[in-house]
Structure formats: structure tokens, C-alpha cells
Chain A
């Protein structure tokens, strides 16, 4: 109960803060729309309305992933620049439980991109959103946010030793767009790519959203989101334990 409360308050706090920062620079908001526009042009040339909605959903989730990948990798560095990292580590709370809601908040901002892209597709390209399983669709979005947040958490923990963690996080933007089937079905890739797609939770989050919108069975996808998300978090906790110990011992991770 206490843990949930800690996560909830942390999420709310950081969400509020990122909301205020993200809109200071319009880039975050309009950037994914350029990619969505190109995708719409390309798929429109195919001239099948179903493909266009497929692309619209994919482009919408692309923006969500951007919001996570471009910020989560450097989540800890950001605290360090602000001078808050030390204050956070000095609290009795488990540091992983402090960091996890930060990256989930970053992924949550992505809902804005999702909505903006769907609207953009509707207004400029006349792509109507049809939802076959409304309830599951609504459930798929927070599930995707949570799994993105969990993967972002793993990034944040693993990239912390790199000064240019932001560049590493950005580097994962395109590859995930590509191999998680946001715009291209996985069957187009060589067989060896598929296992990589499967262990990346965005694949399943994308699937869940798409299946619940276009019709299909999103439940197995949601279960995979849950399983992989939990695995990322567990792994992140383990790495974090060792990291903080090393930081205190060797002053390797400068806290200030």
C-alpha cells in the first residue's frame, strides 16, 4: 500500500513537472507529426483505408515511444544536473521506486502524441478511428504506457554510466519504431529479427492497441505486456542495487 502510494505520488509529481517542461519547447509536440505525415503519404499511395488506419495507429504509438526513448535514458543524469539526485538517494525510500514513476510519467506524456497524431490523421487525411473493442482499447493505452515506462526505466538504469545517455536513448527511437511492427508487419523482417521484436514490450503494446481497434484478440498481447514489463522492472531493480552500492563505494557515480 505504501509502495503504491509512493509510486502514485512520484508519478503525479514528475508528470506535472514534465507537462510544464514539454510544452515550453514545441518540438516535443510537433516532431512526431512529421513522421506521421510521411507515413500517411506513403500509405495513402496504397489507397486502402484499412492500411491507413493501421498506419495511423502505428504513427500514434511512434510518438508515444519517442516521448519515452528520448527522455528516459537520461532520467538519472537529469536529476544529477538539477542537483536533486543526492537528495533523492539520501531518503530512506528505495531508489528504484523513486525512479520508476519518473520514466512512467515520461511515457504518460506520450498519450498526448497519440491523441495528436490520431487527430492529425483525421483532420488532414480523413482517417477515421474505429474501435472494435472500446473497453480493451482504453485498457491497452495505459498498459502500453506502463510497459514503455518499464523499458524506459531499464534504459535509465543501464545508461547511467554514459555521459551522453540522451544520445543512446535517442538511438533506440528508430529501431523500436522499425522492428516492433509500428508501421511494418513483423513478417517483413528476416527471421532472426523476430525474437528481438518479441522481447521488446512495445511490440505487444502496439499489437494490443491495434487488435482492440481493428478487431482481434488483444488479451494475449496485454498479458505479454505485463510479463515483459515486470521482467524489465525486476532487472532494473537488480542493476540499480549494484549501481548504488558501487556509487557509494567507489564514488564512481558522482551523485552531484
Chain B
């Protein structure tokens, strides 16, 4: 049986504009999202900013009531039984906010242990164990205002695990972390699955989803556009090759012309420090390098390389396809 189930979740936000003649504007943030997560699975919800990831997660953790659709966690309906759901889930969000800065990390955990109803007898041991897990041991009695961003984020993780929840929701936990901090946090997340937790992770980093998740749903403009294991998603686009060309200033018309070439599946341009990188994904059975370079005639061209498609390519293709 699935641990987390979402059926056709929808969420509309109403915003008011104008002070005298108030007009109501409706924004459909999530438009019919369905998925199921099995026990022990690490499920990723991957999508660009504003795709509806956070709204979806907030409906599942009972902070928002869906406009339509249903969802349940461990058999409890998120609308009808919020207390039962809250007892059994942990919620970790990214960012520096959300800690009581004037008190120590230990005090923060102690307070939330109480709010989560952790029995007084086990609180101490539990907190010690979590400090060890997230690597804050030794710093726990310092005021959190002196913590680095990464430390605060690890404190969030510890807080989310205080009551040893069966399901953990991680909303962009590595956002804004430096590469080392993010890697450490990912390692911690990795250990959670081996402890048997079911995890829903949202992220907009492809490599993070690729490295951590058993299964990924790509969400774009409030809808799930693809779902599968990282390998499956890659295989959707694996039938091809990617040609990367370093260019310096490429006109839009050229990109459009490349797109219309026979055998080209998708084209995108990324800004790098001094140059741009043009990526052209083509079918495996065609060899278009010469044709591509031909179209670039006149532009300054740098390094040219070929590679296998990655999850990132799959993601870009999916989100672009919308």
C-alpha cells in the first residue's frame, strides 16, 4: 500500500487587486496532481521555481486545504485528520529562517520535541542522536544566530526528525547552500532512506534528484509532465546524442533555424561566464555536427563536444515542451 497518495490535487489562489474596485484574480498553482509513494521510497518532485512544488507539499503536510482532489498520508486524510497526519510526518524546509535565533540549537530542538509530543524520557537521547546525525554535535549550545546557513538547514533537518516520523517531507532543503554544505546535507538525506523512512523531496536541481531519488515526478506549471525512475526519464531522451558548442553571441534566428533541422530534437542555450553554451540534442542515427557548425557560420565558435543525454537534458526537454 502506498504511504503517500495524491489524487488529482488542485489548488487555486485568489488574489485581490485594486483598492476601491476590488477585482478577484484566480491563480491555479496546482492543476490536478496525482502520484503515490511507496514505503521506503525517496520520491522527488522536480520542477522550476513557481511550478507548484511547494503548494503541493503544503497540501500534503496539512498546511493548505486543496481546492479539489484528495490526499492521504499513511491512510489518514490530510483534510479530515490533520492531527493524525502531523503526528506521523516530519517537515523540513530550506532557507535560513524558521529558527529562534536568540536561543541555542539545543533549545530549539527541545521546544519542538515538546510540541511534537516526544515523551520527556526519550527527548534527551533523541536530541543527542540527531545532533550527531546532522553533524551539529559540539555546537548545540551556541545561539543559532551565529550558525552558518548550512548549520541552520541541518538544524531544520534535525527538527523534522525529532519524533521519528515515518514520512519526511523535504522542501528544497539544499537551497542556497554552498556546494560542500549541500553535499553533506545530501549525504544525511541518503542515510534517512536506509533507516527506512519514506521521503518526498522537492528540488529544482536535476543532479540532486538524480543522485538521491528512487523515482521522480517532473512538475511544470502545476502539472506533472513526466514520472519515472531517473533511468526511465533519461531513457526518454537517451535515444540520441547531445552536441555542445561554445559560442559567443548567438542570434535567436540561428537557434530557430537549428530547431527546424531534420533530426534535431531540442535546442537550448545556457549562459556561462564569458560565453554561451549551445546544446543541440539530435537523434542517434543522424550526424549533424557539420550542419550545426554550418549554421553558426559567422559567429565566434569555441569548443565543440558530444555527450550522452543526462537527466538535465530530459528535464529541459520536458519543461520546454510545455
Contacts and interface: CB of A to CB of B under 8 A. Distances in A.
A146 to B, nearest CB: 20
Interface in B201-247: none
B114 A248 contact: no
B83 to A, nearest CB: 5
B187 interface: no
A235 B95 CA distance: 35
B93 A248 contact: no
Contacts of B107: 13, 16
A21 B91 CA distance: 28
Contacts of A10: 111, 114-115
A84 B98 contact: yes
A9 B123 CA distance: 13
Contacts of B14: 250
A2 B95 CA distance: 32
A93 B116 contact: yes
Contacts of B83: 92
Contact of A17 (B93, B95, B102, B159): B102
Contacts of B91: 87, 90
Nearest to B104: A16
B87 interface: yes
A39 B65 CA distance: 53
B101 A82 contact: yes
B147 to A, nearest CB: 14
A150 interface: no
Interface size class of A (residues with CB under 8 A): 20 to 34
A5 B302 CA distance: 68
Contact of A92 (B63, B87, B97, B111): B87
Nearest to B117: A92
Nearest to B85: A92
Nearest to B162: A91
B64 A251 contact: yes
Contact of A248 (B65, B101, B159): B65
Given A82-B98, A84-B98, A92-B83, A6 B65 contact: no
Nearest to B92: A87
Interface in A132-167: none
B317 interface: no
Contacts of B117: 2, 92-93
Given A86-B63, A255-B63, A91 B120 contact: no
Contacts, number: 77
Nearest to B61: A90
A98 interface: yes
Interface in B92-110: 93, 95, 97-103, 107, 110
- Most chain-B CB neighbours within 10 Å: which of A6, A83, A92? A92
A249 interface: yes
B86 interface: yes
A248 B112 CA distance: 21
A249 B66 CA distance: 7
Contact of B63 (A2, A6, A248): A248
Nearest to A7: B114
23 contacts: A6-B115, A9-B110, A9-B114, A10-B114, A13-B107, A13-B111, A20-B103, A82-B101, A83-B95, A83-B97, A83-B99, A84-B98, A84-B100, A87-B91, A87-B98, A87-B159, A90-B62, A92-B83, A92-B86, A92-B116, A93-B117, A98-B115, A255-B63
Given A2-B117, A88-B115, A251-B13, 13 more contacts: A10-B114, A13-B111, A16-B107, A17-B103, A82-B98, A90-B63, A90-B86, A92-B86, A93-B117, A98-B115, A248-B62, A248-B82, A249-B65
Interface of B: 13-14, 61-65, 82-83, 86-87, 91, 93, 95, 97-103, 107, 110-112, 114-117, 120, 159
